[in-house]
Chains A and B, each alone.
Chain A
Amino acid sequence: MNPFASLQSGQPFSRRQWLGQGAAGFGMLALQGLLAAEGNNPVLAKAARHAPRAKRVIFLFMKGGPSAVDTFDPKPLLQRDDGKPYPFKTPRVTFAATGKLLKSPWSFKQHGQSGLPVSELFPEVAKMVDELCVVRSLHGTNPAHGGALLKLHTGSDTQVRPSMGSWVVYGLGSENNNLPGFITICPTLAHGGVNNWGAAFLPAWTQGTPIGNASVDSSQAMVRHIVNPRLSAREQRLQLDFLAQANAQHLEQAGANAALEGRISSFELAFRMQGTMPETQDISRESAATHRLYGLDNPVTAPFGRQCLMARRFLERGVRFVQVTHSDSEVQWDQHGNLYKGHSKNAAEVDKPIAGLLRDLRSRGLLEDTLVLWGGEFGRTPTAQGKDGRDHNPHGFTMWMAGGGVRPGFAHGSTDDYGWFAQENKVHIHDLHATMLHLLGVDHERLTFRYAGRDFRLTDVAGEVVKEVMA
């Protein structure tokens, strides 16, 4: 039985048991430091198998499924054969019915030294294309949003499993004692909701801490219960002092008990976090130039720009895994119809902030050891749904990576001539997870957790590291 799950209160523990058990919680307290001091971090010793190329991850999640053939995967034959039937076999299971091939309404141009093609939807990101490693052969989520989000975030679309951020934090811990190791900014509560950042059976401190959600504007997004609108800091300090004394007296009577001891420090930690968290979120401390870089001066780009800038502040302060979700109160990129209008609007909202984030990370020297991941839960069909829409396509879609030891200015894998199925150098979602962990210095087959009689992995029983995308 693992030490995390077996804890019951009332047992005396060693300090390490207590720490490992999750007293550190939220900020993981000084788990890293203390265990390192003891010369033995069981998790790290098990997980890290080689020198990491990346220390942290930021996942820019485009909810709803951006279309690959309209963004990063140009298909000349699709342009040529507009209106003709798709000539190959279609998938056994599809979400909705689609008709004939639909050419992309956007044109592609080659950009940068690498000459990678980007459509006119992303003019700003195109300027940064030499930093991108575009993977065009993703596959293997699920044809519906909920299943696909769960598959992408947790590796499983059938059962509740820990999210990838939780696995990363479980394997590597956090570098900041007063902040959570895994933060998700304005996540969607639909389609798997909390399960997409949940810890499932992993220790509770590995769960993602949400800041707001998709229905909250990023300027209003807050961690729950981080401020007390009714009491002054002085009054809270009085309460904490009272608690410290009362709990110390109780501990003396109850006898040594790690849970009781842990609880005493958890209040001090919580009090410190009440200061750190809002300070980190406060982007007003950034210069006007930085605000412009992220598009905060434009109402269209400001909401997502604010999320990206907040994310950078978290990354800078040692948060291990940050997810930034682009989701409105609809399904954002889910253009079953109105492809032109919808994708134009969506791209306009994120293009500038993403490019700004990449530039900012680069100029601060953070890009080299920060893995940036961009993409949705699936792509969209090359065939038309209605006149001007595309259906879900989990069989071949594009995500891109940047920084963190990936090969810049490079495109990996391909889809068929029309962009429906991944064809060459296919990268399954499990492969993506394996590769992400590899870049972090973690062997995906060794990062396991014993639960209900089985050793679980993020990659289940699959996953191959995609060596070709490494710098």
Chain B
Amino acid sequence: MKTERPLPRLGWLALLALPAMGLRAAVPQPQGLEFFEKSIRPLFEAKCIECHNSKGKKKGGLVMDSRAGLLSGGDSGPALVAGKPEESRIIEAVRYQHDDLKMPPKGQLPKAEIAALERWVAMGAPDPRVEAPAVAKAEGGMGMSAERGRDFWSFKPVQPVALPRVQRSEWVRSPVDAFVLAELEAKGLTPAPMAEKQELIRRATQDLTGLMPSPEEVAAFVADERPDAFSRLVERLLSSPAYGERWGRHWLDVARYADSNGMDENIAFGHAWRYRDYVVRAFNQDKPYDEFVIEQLAGDLLPNRDEASRHESLAALGFLALGGRVLAEPDVQKMQLDIIDEQLDTLGKAFLGMTFGCARCHDHKFDPISQADYYSMAAIFRSTRSLADEKMGAIKFAFEHSLATPEQTKEKAQRDAMLAAQRKTVTEFAAKARAELRRQLDEGAVDYLAAALQLPDDPGFDAVQALAQQRGLRPRYLLQCRLVLVKQRGNPFFVPWHEAFKRRDEKALRAHYAPLFAAALKARAVKDKAPSLPAAVQQAKAALEDLAGILTIPDKDAHALDAPVLAQLEAMQEEAMRRESGQPDLPGFMGVAEGPTVPKMPIHIRGSYLTLGREVERAFPVVMRSTSVPAVFPQKQSGRLQLARWLVSGEHPLTARVLANRLWRWHFGRGLVGSTENFGVLGDRPSHPQLLDWLAMQLVERGWSWKEMHRLLMNSSVYQMASRHPAAQAPSSATDPTELDPENRLLWRFPVQRLEAEQLRDAMLQMAGTLSLEVGGKTIPLRNREFVFNHTSRDHTRYESPRRALYLPIIRNHLYDILEQFDYPDPTMPTGSRNATVVAPQALILLNAPVVMDSAEAMASRLMRERPGADDRARVDRAWQLAYGRSPAEAEWQRAKNILAQGGQRGLALLCQSLMASNEFIYLP
């Protein structure tokens, strides 16, 4: 690869200084003006102004309808330096010298016009169009200055909030209730009554563990009349290992967790599960959020404690490494910037509710984040290693911290050699099978031609098969041969065949073709040069080698090989694949490490490393700084640790507000700020700003404890309300809440929530009695860095597993159907608020997918097994308890009987499947 002449770094100073210089030189000579009018103005009008004018398009920030516009230039600096063509961008651009700056873009100017432009610039660029451009450069303005940004709600410091006064004070069980009730009362609304106990236990159990309560748990809770029965339930659920699996899964959405890269090359992340399990443990241990954040960004930089805690912090670093990356990007510099962008964008959305990615190419169009802010943070990640040294062809890999011992490494090399040998056996087998097939077809060519005489032009396959069997030929090739004979009617080599066909004269045919084919094969064997062969032998050779010929072997093995050989080959392939996938990986963590420190980084104009602006030091975004003294970064470290500590330091309010909002969203189905990842200008405003700030304050006061916050939120009236409201859509009611607040933003009832994909899948297995509650471990059935699918498009991932859905492989680009259709979020983007759409493919899955059918059948046999002597009625009652936590009403029993009439266990399975598909099962009250 050639290296380019570096672009002049004009930078911002130059941009500011040049217009003044230019204007000083603007005393045009009449001759020059004439030249401009004659040769330059028409050229500008025809080729440039359409995209570069002060009234309409200003591509690249450049306007060319005034002299000042040209002199002040665009994003990459002044367009011209009067008198100096060699230093002028415009000349460089029209000469097409630079790959990324070729103007006009649709095709180079004729040589004469380029010469005219050069001459004009050399003359000092005389130009009568002296007025200043009406508009500043397109990318000049930030959507909001840092100054004004400090007044925007999300950047304002969290203020202590007094609890609002309310009328119905008996409803207030937790301070949370006062905030909600105050808003309701202000609108003249009343909250819904308390939910039924069966409803509450389903709601809380699904909320905290992602599982269904068993009928026994429901019964025990309903019977528990102690006043603190619900708090006890919450405590029981918080101490269940399933809690970490459920809430860890929420965090994994934010961390855009996946077990494969997706993007351009789908490579398995064989160690990602260690990050997943770390997250589950962090929740189960109630790891304070500030520690959790620091470990995920800078786990490798924390002071060394014992080996176990070192491993724990290294596992956390997966957060920075799990992103989807374009791994075969040949432009390595661009790739590094893309990775940094992915990391910055993810951490911005995850921790701060900020869309930093927007400031990569220009100042943020809406939020008070400048391009300088972006590159100040980018420098931190520029000083961080994100890529491994190892490569596979054009494909790069994420960095890993290896834990392998030398013995393990040696063993792996041995196993790899063994696997390579096995793969070779398979390829050799396939090659041999094809070679043998080729030989048989070549030698039998005349037999195929002879047999084809017995078939009409458009034969039915049955006839072909019968004939082929009779003559010991392969039907597929006989058919192909016959069809190609029609298609190649004009081919002189086949003219004798068509002659013979008229008389069905097999003998003449054999006499003609057998020696030709024999000669052709002989010629091939001795590698005779074609020209020395007689024409007919050449034709015979060509017919055998034709890529669309009578006996061409198709590329796909399934089309080409005889069934027994094919079966043997496929079994060998499967076995090789299985053994390969089953190989243990060397232990390691996906993560990042320190690289050479880059204390300053140039601003990349338009995000390209080919157009660099001024350099900026590592820093935090200006709008989030509480002091004008810049943060100090160590000279020999990337600064990730400082960044992580700053995030949770309380110097700015976003980290706490964003997390408080996430907690609310995950409990109540909608954030106080609807846009959980965007607290910027285009994000939503909080529905209950005081409540949000109060919660943010509580979070910090309670030591960033998740479990404390669950207690706070769940032991409230608002959490324990029913999802139905007596006044809703009741004709007689004075204030119908659905009229005043149709979206329930003020929470006059508890929001009905649809089970998420994993909850749905686990609930089906729970009903079937087949769900395993084993926690953690590697579950992706692929080796680290193995192709999930390479070019073959064959998907070897399996999803038949009794483990919780949390442990199913997350294959980017090819998600498991249930996850994909039931709104599993795009695992390349941080997501704090999943959708709950209703689409027909969901119905197709519940009607037809094997996992649903299997679960229904297993549930039916479970009902038969568990209630051996029972009658239908008892089994139906049990089914209702398992699915809904209640007994069926009489009308429901009658409906169930309709289906059971299909008879026995099959009827029961039909019914179980219907329950799994029903709204009452899928929507939590």
* A interface with B by C-beta (< 8 Å): 1, 5-12, 18, 21-27, 29, 89-95, 142-147, 149-150, 157-160, 188-195, 200-201, 203-205, 213-217, 224-228, 230-231, 235-236, 238-239, 241-243, 245-247, 249-251, 253-257, 259-260, 262-264, 266-267, 269-271, 273-274, 288, 297-301, 327-331, 341, 344-345, 348, 423-426, 428, 450, 452-454
Contacts and interface: CB of A to CB of B under 8 A. Distances in A.
Contact of A300 (B329, B349, B548, B895): B548
A215 B330 contact: no
A23 B899 contact: no
B848 interface: yes
A259 B754 contact: yes
B839 A271 contact: no
20 contacts: A7-B837, A8-B751, A11-B743, A11-B751, A92-B4, A143-B331, A160-B826, A189-B789, A193-B262, A193-B789, A256-B738, A267-B847, A299-B476, A300-B548, A300-B554, A423-B107, A425-B106, A426-B106, A452-B355, A452-B677
B899 A238 contact: yes
A205 B107 contact: no
B839 to A, nearest CB: 3
A264 B724 CA distance: 20
A182 B458 CA distance: 35
Contacts of A215: 792-794
Interface in B138-175: none
B813 A195 contact: yes
Nearest to B792: A329
A195 B265 CA distance: 12
Interface stretch (B71-79, B679-687, B688-696): B679-687
Given A225-B849, A424-B107, A453-B680, A94 B843 contact: no
A300 B752 contact: no
B390 interface: no
A189 B891 contact: no
Given A8-B836, A225-B817, A345-B548, 13 more contacts: A23-B837, A26-B839, A26-B840, A142-B329, A157-B264, A226-B844, A242-B895, A270-B843, A273-B840, A298-B548, A299-B554, A329-B555, A426-B105
A4 to B, nearest CB: 8
Contacts of B328: 144-147
Contacts of A235: 902, 910
B791 A157 contact: no
Contacts of B349: 452
A10 B106 contact: no
Contact of A273 (B105, B844, B895): B844
A91 B480 CA distance: 45
A9 to B, nearest CB: 4
Contacts of B558: 217
B338 interface: yes
Interface of B: 1-2, 4, 99, 105-108, 262-266, 324, 326-331, 338, 341, 349, 355, 358, 365-367, 394, 458, 476, 479-480, 483-484, 486-487, 547-548, 552, 554-556, 558-559, 669-670, 674-675, 677-678, 680-684, 723-725, 728-729, 738, 742-744, 751-754, 789-795, 813-815, 817, 821, 823, 826, 828-829, 835-845, 847-849, 853, 891-892, 895-896, 898-899, 902, 910-911, 913-914, 917-920, 922-923, 925
B268 to A, nearest CB: 14
B330 A9 contact: no
Nearest to B755: A9
Given A90-B2, A242-B899, A95 B394 contact: yes
A204 B837 contact: yes
Given A9-B669, A10-B744, A453-B680, A26 B1 contact: no
A32 to B, nearest CB: 16
Given A192-B813, A246-B920, A288 B458 contact: yes
B813 A194 contact: yes
B185 to A, nearest CB: 22
B547 to A, nearest CB: 5
Contacts, number: 339
Nearest to A262: B838
B922 to A, nearest CB: 8
Given A93-B331, A147-B328, A260-B923, A23 B838 contact: yes
B788 to A, nearest CB: 8
A10 B753 contact: yes
A143 B723 CA distance: 55
B365 to A, nearest CB: 8
A434 to B, nearest CB: 13
A450 B355 CA distance: 13
Contacts of B552: 299-300
A7 B837 CA distance: 7
Contacts of A1: 674-675, 684
Contacts of B479: 299
Contacts of A301: 548
A251 B554 CA distance: 57
Contacts of B920: 246-247, 250
* Residue of B4, B555, B559 most packed against chain A (CB within 10 A): B555
Nearest to A428: B105
Contacts of A22: 837-839
Contacts of B366: 453
B752 A146 contact: no
A234 to B, nearest CB: 9
Looking at chain B's contact residues, the main secondary structure is: loop
Q: 8 closest A-B pairs (Cβ-Cβ)?
A: A146-B264, A25-B839, A10-B752, A270-B843, A193-B813, A453-B682, A214-B793, A25-B840
B484 A298 contact: yes
A146 B848 contact: no
Contact of B847 (A95, A160, A200, A270): A270
A12 B366 CA distance: 32
B4 A299 contact: no
B752 to A, nearest CB: 3
Contact of B106 (A158, A160, A226, A424): A424
B839 A205 contact: yes
B264 A249 contact: no
Nearest to A216: B793
Contacts of B559: 217, 299
Contact of B838 (A243, A266, A453): A266
B458 A144 contact: no
A277 B751 CA distance: 36
A297 B669 contact: no
A95 B395 CA distance: 11
Contacts of A18: 838
Contacts of A288: 458
Contacts of B728: 255-256
Given A146-B326, A160-B324, A192 B914 contact: no
A10 B669 contact: yes
A91 B814 contact: no
B847 A271 contact: yes
Contacts of A264: 919
A94 B487 contact: no
A426 B479 CA distance: 47
Contact of A158 (B338, B669, B744): B338
A228 B263 contact: no
Given A25-B839, A90-B2, A230-B853, A254 B264 contact: no
Nearest to B457: A297
Contact of B791 (A94, A147, A266, A329): A329
Given A150-B264, A242-B914, A330 B813 contact: no
